Amino acid sequence: MTHTEYQNAVELLKKYSYHYYVLDDPITTDEEYDILYHKVVAYEQEHPNDIIPDSPTQRVGDVPQDKFDKAQHLSRMWSLEDLFNREELETWVNRITKSYGDVIFYCEPKFDGASLNLIYDNGVLTQAITRGDGVEGEDVSQNAKTIQSVPLTIDYKDRIEIRGEVVIFKDDFEKINEERLRNGESLFANPRNAAAGSLRQLDTRITASRRLVFMPYGIGSNTLEIKNLSERMEWVYALGFRNPHMTHLCDSADQIETFYHEMRLERDNFAMLLDGMVIKVDAISVQDELGYTVKNPRWAAAYKFPAIEKLTTLKEVILQVGRSGVVTPVAIVEPVDIEGVTVERSTLHNFDEIDRKDIRIGDKVIILRSGDVIPKIVKVITSERNGSERVIPRPLHCPVCGSELLDEGALIKCQNLSCEARVVNSIIYFASKQCLNIDGLGDKIVEALHQSGLVNEVSDLFSLTMEQLLSLEGFKEKKSRNLIDAIAAVKGCDCWRFINALGIEHIGEVASKTLCISFGTAFDTASREEILALDGFGGEMVESILEFVRVNSDKIERLRSILTPVAPVKVEAVENPFKGKSVVITGSMSVPRDQIKVILEELGAKVASSVSKKTDYVVYGEDAGSKYDKAVELGVALLTESEFRALTPLSDSTPTAQGSSVHPKNSLFD
């Protein structure tokens, strides 16, 4: 890549990002973006002195900060006066129109997030400061630069403050909490707290991973001559900032009230949380004359939506078992009305979260509901306790089937393959490509077989008859015959596929192969000490296997007798650069990645799914994403597909892009 090509690539990446993060109108695929991004990264690594300051690669810093410095705003950031009903709205509007006659009001959504003040000088983002006390906040400039909807440069040379709210989309908020749940971390109570916490991370890489969004709502210090706020905001959007779109000019309290109700109706359709509507006098000259009180501008107010947090009482806790076997506690609360919806249940996430919040039956609690976000308990009012409250016990047995539960702290799981709550999902997984790969046995067919009563556990698949299938709606003779043949064809499967198909928690393909190599098909007879001695097996994995065997020993034996899985023949790999090494594969290759994986395993390598300090090689193709970046960060050796093939003794006979091979039938490459 030449320097000119690099400059053009940076501009194109910026254009792609603007359309994706600001306009919500992608003009390329993620694959094309990633390919171009990595080309830019490669150029910048070779030419560090040529790096363009606002290159997309410069949004994330490498070294965590020790602390945030204090910084002063160029002009004060004010709080808004709150209005809660039509009467208060009319009083506020009349106070203004009494002195200034007919006034136009600019109405916009009030986003529920963390306020941020961006300072641009000579067209470059020089500083980003949190609200703080309105006069002084914290300098979070490095974190702000990770927010894709914050332009690093704008087409305006004078110094100016652009103010807005940093938010997290509701879908992304749920994903963040799901990840924190898996990691055993405390959950964010709401997207507002998540946005504020993410903005103040000392490690910018964490901030970057949270998908924060900046929604501009105003201008601070400036030298603009644009006379109306509505026109100023259109000017701001034209600089490259997101446009909330639902804004409106009103000339009376009636019009404001009408638009307020329209926004309330649309509230749940917004990607982020709203907690009201902001009303501002449109004319800048009138704003200047109205001025400020000690706390608020006289020319702006927040017309708040009805509360989505209510106080109620926790009556009892019931247990639900998901399709994966995870047991989730659900709170039954005194019915409470939140925006016209009667809420009687709330998620409690898991028992670790119950312990962290010290939630007890009989507690007074604050419950939050927001649009399509499941109601949740965000706070316990411990001061209201009278001693009658009861601690919520951790369950020992499945509430559906009564089997012993696997308790891992954050997650409690039923591993019984015959449990009514998880049987359908366990069969779908059993038949999936990474397990027994039963052709034609998709999700809908499994559900139909279960609903008809023909299949109530995995082993029932192997006793299905043509007559039974033909009695079902949509099953013709050919379809039925093909399915029965496909089920029969998996008998004599590889040992690792048999173990992987059982769906043991924490045991995937790699661990299944290790178990097979070590114990053959009799993996369930191995002791705790024997399994713990295996490479890569920790205590959590071992306990999961032992608990699964205790609960399902009869089913394992029955399936083993039906499938007659074949144990691997141990063949010592020839000496080669990959023998005994940990290798990660990423990106698109000239052949399916599974074929590359088989080659590596034949060479004695351990193929891992994620990059760590223990990784020896990363073999990458086109569209190599975060795993490539992680390898660069950790200094792991990188190999292209052609470099990999050149190092392997099987390189002369590996499959071609068309799938041809010179290997004999039944060889590794069939």
Residue type, 128: A
Of 352, 332, 193, which is closest to residue 273 (Cα–Cα)?
Answer: 193
Catalytic residue among 14, 110, 170, 581: 110
As a whole number of angstroms, the distance between CA 440 and CA 384 comes to 58
For the CA atoms of the chain, what is the radius of gyration?
A: 30
Strand 373-380, strand 364-370: pairing? antiparallel
Contact 524, 438 (CB under 8 A): no
8 A C-beta contact, residue 346 and residue 333: yes
Q: How far, in Å, are 129, 204, 211, 297, 378 from residue 197 at the CA level?
A: 14, 12, 13, 28, 16
Q: Please give the helix or strand (H or E) that residue 341 lies within, else none.
A: strand 341-347
Residue by residue, DSSP assigns 499-561 as HHHT--TT--HHHHHHHHHHHGGGGGG--HHHHHTSTT--HHHHHHHHHHHHHHHHHHHHHHH
Structure tokens at 263: 């926004």
Compute the distance between CA of residue 270 and CA of residue 173 in angstroms, rounded to an integer. Answer: 14
Identify whether 110 is a catalytic site residue: yes
Interstrand relation of 582-586 and 606-608 (parallel, antiparallel or unpaired) = parallel
DSSP 36-64: HHHHHHHHHHH-GGG--TT-GGGGS-SS-
Exposed e or buried b for every residue in 26-41, given b needs 16+ CB within 10 A?
eeeeeeebbbbbbebb
CA pair distance 509, 434, nearest whole angstrom:
8
| Residue 506: how many other CB atoms lie within 10 Å | 16
Cα–Cα distances in angstroms (integers) from residue 103 to residues 46, 94, 125, 303, in the given order: 59, 10, 35, 18
- Alpha-carbon distances of 379 from 185, 191, 209, 361, rounded to whole Å: 17, 15, 27, 14
* Lookup result for tokens 């205590």: 539
Helix (H), strand (E) at residue 639: strand 637-640
Place of tokens 């997207």: 191
Question: Would strands 212-219 and 248-250 be described as parallel, antiparallel, or unpaired?
Answer: unpaired
The backbone torsions φ and ψ at residue 23, rounded to the nearest 5 degrees and listed phi first, read: -90, -10
Contact 138, 298 (CB under 8 A): no
Task: Please give the DSSP secondary-structure letter assigned to residue 19.
Answer: I
- For residue 476, what are its two tokens? 């013709």
User: Which residues does residue 370 pair with via DSSP β-bridges, in sequence order?
Assistant: 373
Distance (Å, rounded) from C-alpha 110 to C-alpha 80?
11
* Cβ-based neighbours of 607, under 8 Å, separated by 6 or more: 510, 583, 584, 585, 597, 600, 601
Which residues, 6 or more positions from 167, have their beta carbon under 8 angstroms from its beta carbon? 111, 112, 113, 114, 191, 192, 195, 212, 213, 215, 272, 273
- Show which residues are catalytic: 110
